[in-house]
């Protein structure tokens, strides 16, 4: 298999997703575990399947190779959000020790699946280091921004910097705010979604001035998300290709701004698969190859 994904916007050729049948399992399982996973409320299993069908159809219509992570007893509800366990570089996958303890079994499951696809493992975040994929944003193939927050710590960042030193020219550490506290999911990708090399959807209220200035200096146009749409994951936009986007339904102002910027936008109803678990379309996908 081809692999390499040092971009957030190149056309996705190969991707990994996980069906709710293999993550949520059943309504009984959701009823028993949603509080432990700190979901907003309990997802409805049947509605989750309906929502995912629409999301899956969008992905399959626009991505040549769609791979499905299988059910794994070492993983839980959050394993539907396949993005967080690793990043796949031109030299192979870097596996992460995620910050949320209930998710610690996911990296091993993803690692085994990647190996079965023929994707080599470049390295792993180990020891005291923690890191989640939602905190790692490629601004271009040689520039990486990493959010330091409650899910990704300095030791994890140090290890990632060392592992990427031969393939990255600029390594940017972005200090994330406290937000709603350590139990909530606030990633760097909660406040920025690249949709083209010179276009990003952002929630500037949670963005350090230094990082926002750097984006502007790089010539990146910023589409600002309003508070009410940020709360509905409006800043979580997946680029399937440059200016070809997927976002949760219910964010009309952000969608309109994207379309005015020349983007084509697909929407899916994400109340049960996205909003309740705080994981938008970027979270639901692990791109393996971008062109």
Annotated domain spans of the chain: 12-290
Q: What is the pLDDT of residue 4?
A: 96
Q: What is the pLDDT of residue 184?
A: 78
Q: What is the pLDDT of residue 185?
A: 77
- 149 DSSP assignment: S
Residue 37 to residues 177, 215, 242, 248: CA-CA distances in angstroms? Answer: 21, 33, 33, 21
Q: Which of 131, 21, 147 is nearest to 72 (CA)?
A: 21
Question: Residues 184-190: what's their mean pLDDT?
Answer: 90
Q: What is the pLDDT of residue 130?
A: 97
- Burial grade of 125 (CB within 10 A; 0-12, 13-18, 19 or more): buried
Q: Count of CB atoms within 10 A of residue 34's CB? A: 18
- Burial grade of 24 (CB within 10 A; 0-12, 13-18, 19 or more): buried
Kindly indicate the confidence band of residue 103, based on its pLDDT and cuts at 50, 70 and 90. very high
Q: Which of 5, 1, 2 is nearest to 167 (CA)?
A: 5
The pTM assigned to this predicted structure is 0.96
Which residues contact residue 27 at a Cβ distance below 8 angstroms, ignoring those fewer than 6 apart?
A: 44, 45, 46
Percent of the chain surpassing pLDDT 90: 96
Q: What is the pLDDT of residue 84?
A: 96
Q: Is the pLDDT of residue 8 over 90?
A: yes
Q: What is the pLDDT of residue 257?
A: 98
Average of per-residue pLDDT values in the chain: 97
What stretch of H or E contains 92? strand 92-95
- Burial grade of 222 (CB within 10 A; 0-12, 13-18, 19 or more): middle
Please check whether residue 188 is in contact with residue 137, taking contact to mean a CB–CB distance below 8 angstroms: yes
What stretch of H or E contains 69? none
Q: Count of CB atoms within 10 A of residue 66's CB? A: 15
Question: Residues 14-40: what's their mean pLDDT?
Answer: 98
Sheet with strand 136-140: strands edge to edge: 136-140, 143-148, 170-175
Tokens coding 215: 């984006």
Write down the CATH number for the domain with range 12-290. 3.75.10.10
Kindly indicate the confidence band of residue 246, based on its pLDDT and cuts at 50, 70 and 90. very high
Kindly indicate the confidence band of residue 182, based on its pLDDT and cuts at 50, 70 and 90. confident
Kindly indicate the confidence band of residue 183, based on its pLDDT and cuts at 50, 70 and 90. confident
Kindly indicate the confidence band of residue 33, based on its pLDDT and cuts at 50, 70 and 90. very high
Q: What is the pLDDT of residue 226?
A: 97
Kindly indicate the confidence band of residue 143, based on its pLDDT and cuts at 50, 70 and 90. very high
More reliable by pLDDT, 186 or 277:
277
Q: Is the pLDDT of residue 261 over 80?
A: yes
**How far is 187 from 184, CA to CA, in rounded Å?**
10
């Amino acid at each position: 298999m081809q692999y390499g994904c040092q971009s957030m916007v190149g056309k996705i050729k190969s991707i990994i997703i996980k069906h709710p049948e293999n993550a949520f399992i059943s309504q009984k399982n959701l009823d028993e575990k949603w509080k432990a996973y700190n979901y907003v409320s309990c997802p409805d299993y049947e509605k989750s399947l309906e929502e995912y069908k629409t999301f899956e159809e969008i992905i399959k219509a626009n991505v040549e190779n769609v791979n499905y992570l299988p059910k794994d007893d070492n993983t839980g509800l959050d394993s539907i959000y396949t993005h967080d366990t690793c990043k796949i570089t031109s030299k192979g996958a870097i596996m992460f020790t995620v910050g949320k303890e209930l998710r610690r079994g996911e990296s091993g499951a993803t690692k085994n699946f990647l190996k079965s696809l023929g994707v080599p493992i470049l390295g792993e975040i180990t020891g005291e280091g923690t890191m989640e994929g939602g905190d790692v944003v490629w601004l271009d193939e040689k520039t990486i921004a990493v959010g330091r927050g409650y899910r990704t710590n300095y030791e994890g960042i140090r290890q990632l910097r060392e592992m990427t030193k031969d393939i990255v020219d600029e390594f940017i550490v972005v200090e994330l705010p406290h937000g709603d506290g350590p139990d909530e999911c606030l990633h760097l990708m909660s406040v920025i979604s690249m949709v083209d090399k010179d276009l990003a959807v952002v929630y500037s209220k949670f963005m350090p001035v230094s990082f926002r200035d750097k984006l502007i200096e790089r010539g990146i146009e910023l589409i600002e998300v309003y508070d009410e749409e940020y709360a509905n994951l409006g800043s979580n936009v997946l680029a399937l290709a440059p200016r070809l986007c997927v976002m949760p339904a219910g964010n009309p102002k952000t969608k309109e701004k994207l379309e005015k910027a020349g983007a084509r936008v697909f929407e899916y109803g994400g109340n049960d698969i996205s909003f309740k678990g705080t994981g938008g379309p970027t979270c639901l996908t692990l791109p393996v190859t971008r062109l």
